[in-house]
Amino acid sequence: MKDELTQDQRSANLKGMGSSRKRVEDVRFTQGKGRYVDDIKLDGMLFGDFVRSPYAHARVTSINTEAAMAIPGVVAVLTAKDLEPLGLHWMPTLAGDKQMVLADGKVLFQGQEVAYVIANDRYAAADGVEAVEVEYEELPVIVDPFEALKSDVVLREDLEGQTEGAHGPRKHHNHIFTWEQGDKEGTEKVLEEADVVAEEMVYYHRTHPCPLETCGCVASMDKVTGKLTLYGTFQAPHAIRTVVSLISGIAEHNIRVVSPDIGGGFGNKVGAYAGYVCSVVASIVTGKPVKWVEDRMENLMTTAFARDYWMQGKIAATKEGKITGLWCHTTADHGGFDACADPTKFPAGFMNICTGSYDIPTAYLAVDGVYTNKAPGGVSYRCSFRVTEAAYFIERMIEVLAIKLNMDAAELRRINFIKSDQFPYQSALGWEYDSGDYHRAWDQALNAVGYKQLREEQAQRIEEFKAGKTRKLIGIGLTHFTEIVGAGPVKNCDILGLGMFDSCEIRIHPTGSAIARLGTISQGQGHATTFAQIIASEIGLPADDITLEEGDTDTAPYGLGTYGSRSTPVAGAATAMAARKIRAKAQMIAAYLLEVHDDDVEWDVDRFSVKGAPERFKTMKEIAFAAYNQAIPGLEPGLEAVSYYDPPNMTYPFGAYICVMEIDVDTGEHEIRSFYALDDCGTRINPMIIDGQVHGGCTEGYAIAMGQEIAYDEMGNCKSATLMDFFLPTAWETPTYTTDFTVTPSPHHPIGAKGVGESPNVGSVPCFSNAVHDAFRPFGLVQSHMPHDHWRIWKIAKDLGLHS
Amino acid sequence: MSKMHVKLNVNGQEVEGLAEPRTLLIHFLRENLNITGPHIGCETSHCGACTVDLNGKSVKSCTVFVAQANGSDVTTVEGLTNDDGSLGVIQEMFREHHGLQCGFCTPGMITRAHRLLQEKPNPTEEEVRFGMAGNLCRCTGYQNIVKAILASADMMNAQKEAAE
């Protein structure tokens, strides 16, 4: 058979790795044909809705459901009393703590679930919620974690007297754990002997992932078959199935969990929430499907806050600026229950990546987790387990040190970067960085923005400002971040005892098309597009001929799901490995068909050809058909493979971001003049999708740095529970981003990819924040807490005496 | 609660049904008519996921009672697909320029963009950004949405010219 196409043309036809392939998901999404949880409609379906506590800390003295039950359409009202005989009035959290499903005697945060009303439709359910009468007796409220550690008030009475928690000793009745990493004494010694030590409290405020679709589920118990189907907005459907089985006692094979299309996750949809448990119970009790979808206020007030880390830092250096040591003590506000979503052995996630991109010989980190009267959660809002906090901490400390040394912060970074020949690099806090070339990225970034000229312009602007010719300052925000993603090696990463591997199963059909199923679940990342590209490049079938499925635990192989930028590093690796198993079998089939030895054929884009005789070949399509119609001695029929991939290490994407911001000293308003984002995520699978991820992640970072927060008053009232108060930027104020890249493949990943989804959130928050600080650096500002909304920036200017 | 009779023209089809006076247009569309393109993201008029076209104006259907829409013409994203089932211009440009990720805001975005381009067939980037500010997206950072809408304007104008 003669092939008219060149190798390059054949390769391009596959739309494999490196191609900006258009997304296959978009055909249905652009027509409104996505299928999200709230689109699911089952026969006889009921609706659940919560009665929630208006108080942040109170005893529940009585619950009267009589009036609610009298409302037409209300079917039942569940309280903790109803769940107690089933042992479901409390549930285990992902962090080794337990959490009330429905208020058991008291409430610990505003918005806590008190009763669950089940009704024929959502309006009747809302009527029922209004009619449930709950009496509360108010208790003293603690919203400050430092106060909590001093207070006599016991928040968690259920834990009273327990001096040991899931992560070691508890020092106080409101204390959860202490987590220590690194060399305490060595670091203290370095600090004592250092030429220079800069010290600062860096606060990363509480915020919320706030995906546009809120959390929800539909539980459907089939009493005839005994099978429970649970549709939901789950970022980890397989883990949810196991958890549901463990806490409900329903055998795991009798549970089917389905994550349909998910309208954004960003960490919000990792956790297990009271709504899921109550809906399952309600479906079992009523024998009907029950839907629960939280509204926006419930979402912002109760499911999955992020951050809330008070990070006290000390950084030591020589007078020339070489960093010699880093010390960090973090007070972590976990709210009323410890429901953080971290791997079991990491109660503060990967906060110990806080040495960042720098070669810091000695370091020490301690984190104290604390209970307060705030919502539980502590998820990774588009980051890999507290990496954002770590990156913000080190990137602020570098700036603080630069001020102390009176040095340019870009130069200070440069002289402290880990050098490319130091990889794999062992960090002082225990990680092995896989690969990087930070100097190259940094130089490329500084050149691209014209860093030197920007500093000259800034200096000139300061002169003009001092001369009264302008009221606007320029801030140049710098960041070089290193992420740690792709959790993770099973040897040290698990959630509830489930190892954090991931999986892919590929089945080739006789006509040479394929279906692949993965243990992950897309929430907008475009898995159906990109994972097909990996397979296309590995086995030479066009990506357009490969269907991808995720999220149905009855059909997909077991995996730990999508969060922490782990899909490409872990499931992407499983995909490549499964494809390689198929290719290995295809090689044997090709050799048989070509009547040569297995070793005498070689892979060529989409075919195996005889070595030295490229005109003799069998395409993958031909091989696929042969796998189903030929009796090949020594080979089973069919062509499929599965891979469960346990990564040998995490991956370490990095990036260099530079923001130029104009700040109006009199109004506190800002304007982002430019934002440059260079990302190195290793091998690039789909550049179009990478750019999209960077735009989106930077916009989330912009929101967090410049205005978004979950704020409480001293009574524990959540002051930012609607989109009126919780800042989500619109198209109007969102900056335009310039993206760039370098490629430093991961040496241990089958295709060298590192993951990119979360890098822009991790990198852009310190970049925006550093720009604000940089604008005021000449006037003496060292540290000011985020979010930098107009009022807070105005306040900085006022406190520095810049208002006449 | 007693129900009232409502009648609408949705995407060119006459439809009718019974609804409580307090029923929101978004719930009537989604639950009574199974038109699930418009989504619910906030129920307070901020996010725009529920945007539909009501008598030639963009409205957020989470804060309109279906009773208020009685007798009206409603267009949702489902009504913007070409008659032959292929993607309409704006839908196609969103796909072409990667103007969507999770897809949850997309129906509202496209429906709003449709009205914006009726009002301003040659918008500047600034006008697009201002005109789309009632629709929130958490995934894309808007950059490619803006690009998609500007490209849609060009394509629609070229089609108009070709037809003349």
CB A385 within 8 A of CB A564: yes
Query: Would residue A31 show up in a list of annotated catalytic residues for this protein?
Result: no
Show residues of chain A in contact with B104, CB under 8 Å: 34, 36, 211-213, 263-264
CB A385 within 8 A of CB A349: yes
On whether both A654 and A778 belong to a single domain, the answer is yes
CB A788 within 8 A of CB A706: yes
On whether both A52 and A133 belong to a single domain, the answer is yes
Q: How far is A374 from A307, CA to CA, in rounded Å?
A: 13
Query: Would residue A504 show up in a list of annotated catalytic residues for this protein?
Result: no
On whether both A416 and A506 belong to a single domain, the answer is no
Show residues of chain A in contact with B22, CB under 8 Å: 123
If you write DSSP's letter for every residue of A640-695 in order, what string do you get?
EEEEEE--SS-B--EEEEEEEEEEETTT--EEEEEEEEEEE-BS-S-HHHHHHHHH
Q: How far is A473 from B134, CA to CA, in rounded Å?
A: 30
Which stretches does DSSP call E strand in chain B? 4-10, 13-19, 51-54, 57-60, 73-75
Report residues of chain A scoring pLDDT below 50: 1
Looking at residue A488, what is its pLDDT? Answer: 82
Assess if residue A206 is contained within a domain.
Answer: no
For A458, residues 6+ apart whose C-beta sits below 8 A from its C-beta are A474, A476
For an interface test with A, the pick among B104, B128, B149 (most A C-beta atoms closer than 10 Å) comes out as: B104
Assess if residue A657 is contained within a domain.
Answer: yes
Give me the sheet containing A472-482, strands edge to edge: A472-482, A654-664, A670-680, A737-741
Q: Exposed, middle or buried: residue A289 (CB in 10 Å: 0-12, 13-18, 19+)?
A: buried
Assess if residue A629 is contained within a domain.
Answer: yes
- Indicate the residue among A607, A624, A645 that finishes a domain: A645
Q: Which of A35, A688, A732 sits opposite B130 (nearest CB)?
A: A732
Assess if residue A156 is contained within a domain.
Answer: no
Taking the alpha carbons at both ends of chain B, their separation in whole angstroms is 54
Q: How far is A168 from A181, CA to CA, in rounded Å?
A: 14
For A544, residues 6+ apart whose C-beta sits below 8 A from its C-beta are A15, A24, A532
Looking at residue B1, what is its pLDDT? Answer: 73
The count of other CB atoms within 10 Å of the CB of residue A575 is 33
On whether both A481 and A522 belong to a single domain, the answer is no
Q: How far is A630 from A632, CA to CA, in rounded Å?
A: 6
Give the 3-state secondary structure of residue A115. Answer: strand
On whether both A635 and A550 belong to a single domain, the answer is yes
On whether both A45 and A30 belong to a single domain, the answer is no
Q: Exposed, middle or buried: residue B35 (CB in 10 Å: 0-12, 13-18, 19+)?
A: buried
On whether both A311 and A240 belong to a single domain, the answer is no
Looking at residue A2, what is its pLDDT? Answer: 53
CB A524 within 8 A of CB A262: yes
pLDDT at B162 over 80: yes
Amino acid at A160: E
Q: Which of A113, A200, A758, A777 is catalytic?
A: A758
- Indicate the residue among A623, A645, A667 that finishes a domain: A645
pLDDT digits (tens, 9 = 90+) for A202-211: 999 999 999 9
How far does the CA of residue A123 sit from the closest CA of chain B (Å)? Answer: 8
Q: How far is A506 from A90, CA to CA, in rounded Å?
A: 40
For an interface test with A, the pick among B10, B42, B47, B50 (most A C-beta atoms closer than 10 Å) comes out as: B42
Assess if residue A178 is contained within a domain.
Answer: no
| DSSP conformation class of B24 | B
* C-alpha distance from residue A630 to each of A511, A590, A625 (Å): 14, 12, 8
How far does the CA of residue A301 sit from the closest CA of chain B (Å)? Answer: 13
The count of other CB atoms within 10 Å of the CB of residue A469 is 9
On whether both A450 and A437 belong to a single domain, the answer is yes
Q: How far is A158 from A733, CA to CA, in rounded Å?
A: 47
- Name the closest residue on chain B to residue A529, using Cα atoms: B101
- Name the closest residue on chain A to residue B135, using Cα atoms: A730
The count of other CB atoms within 10 Å of the CB of residue B157 is 13
Show residues of chain A in contact with B151, CB under 8 Å: none
Tokens 């604390």 -> residue: A370
Looking at residue A564, what is its pLDDT? Answer: 84
Give the 3-state secondary structure of residue A370. Answer: strand
> Between chains, do B47 and A212 touch, taking CB under 8 Å as contact?
yes
Looking at residue A121, what is its pLDDT? Answer: 95
pLDDT digits (tens, 9 = 90+) for A457-514: 999 999 999 999 999 999 999 999 999 999 989 999 998 889 999 999 999 999 999 9
On whether both A708 and A638 belong to a single domain, the answer is no
Q: How far is A440 from A512, CA to CA, in rounded Å?
A: 43
Q: Which of B22, B23, B91 sits opposite A30 (nearest CB)?
A: B91
pLDDT digits (tens, 9 = 90+) for B103-152: 999 999 999 999 999 999 999 999 999 999 999 999 999 999 999 999 99
Looking at residue A653, what is its pLDDT? Answer: 97
Assess if residue A176 is contained within a domain.
Answer: no
Closest CA to B101 of B146, B147, B138, B64: B138
For the CA atoms of A298, A300, A302, A303, the dihedral, rounded to the nearest 10 degrees, stands at 110
How far does the CA of residue B105 sit from the closest CA of chain A (Å)? Answer: 7
Which CATH number does the domain housing residue A325 bear? 3.30.365.10
Residues in a beta bridge with A230 = A219, A257
- Name the closest residue on chain B to residue A701, using Cα atoms: B141
Assess if residue A195 is contained within a domain.
Answer: no
Q: Which of A30, A38, A122 sits opposite B94 (nearest CB)?
A: A30
Structural domains in chain B plus CATH codes? 4-77 (3.10.20.30), 80-163 (1.10.150.120)
Strand A737-741 to strand A670-680: parallel, antiparallel, or no bridges (unpaired)? parallel
Amino acid at A635: L
- Indicate the residue among A595, A612, A645 that finishes a domain: A645
For an interface test with A, the pick among B11, B102, B129 (most A C-beta atoms closer than 10 Å) comes out as: B102
Q: Which of A99, A112, A181, A235 is catalytic?
A: A235
Q: Which of A278, A383, A504, A681 is catalytic?
A: A383
> Between chains, do B94 and A524 touch, taking CB under 8 Å as contact?
no
Q: What is the 3-state secondary structure of A522-583?
A: CCCCCHHHHHHHHHHHHHCCCHHHEEEEECECCCCCCCCCCCCCCHHHHHHHHHHHHHHHHH
- Name the closest residue on chain B to residue A35, using Cα atoms: B36
Query: Would residue A382 show up in a list of annotated catalytic residues for this protein?
Result: yes
Closest CA to A19 of A745, A711, A786, A689: A689
For an interface test with A, the pick among B81, B110, B128, B139 (most A C-beta atoms closer than 10 Å) comes out as: B139
> Between chains, do A263 and B39 touch, taking CB under 8 Å as contact?
yes
Show residues of chain A in contact with B42, CB under 8 Å: 295-296, 722-723
Show residues of chain A in contact with B141, CB under 8 Å: 695-699, 734, 737
- Name the closest residue on chain B to residue A296, using Cα atoms: B42
Looking at residue A3, what is its pLDDT? Answer: 60
Show residues of chain A in contact with B43, CB under 8 Å: 295-296
Assess if residue A183 is contained within a domain.
Answer: no
Geometric angle at alpha carbon B5, from B3 and B6, rounded to 5°: 120
Q: How far is A489 from A482, CA to CA, in rounded Å?
A: 19
Q: Provide the number of structural domains found in chain A.
A: 3
Q: Exposed, middle or buried: residue A737 (CB in 10 Å: 0-12, 13-18, 19+)?
A: buried
Query: Would residue A383 show up in a list of annotated catalytic residues for this protein?
Result: yes
On whether both A561 and A607 belong to a single domain, the answer is yes
CB A768 within 8 A of CB A748: no
Which CATH number does the domain housing residue A238 bear? 3.90.1170.50
> Between chains, do B141 and A41 touch, taking CB under 8 Å as contact?
no
On whether both A520 and A641 belong to a single domain, the answer is yes
> Between chains, do A36 and B39 touch, taking CB under 8 Å as contact?
yes
Show residues of chain B in contact with A39, CB under 8 Å: 30, 36
- Give the range of the structural domain holding residue A676, as residue numbers without chain letter: 305-486+650-799
| DSSP conformation class of A637 | S
How far does the CA of residue B24 sit from the closest CA of chain A (Å)? Answer: 10
On whether both A560 and A441 belong to a single domain, the answer is no
For A301, residues 6+ apart whose C-beta sits below 8 A from its C-beta are A52, A110, A111, A375, A718, A721
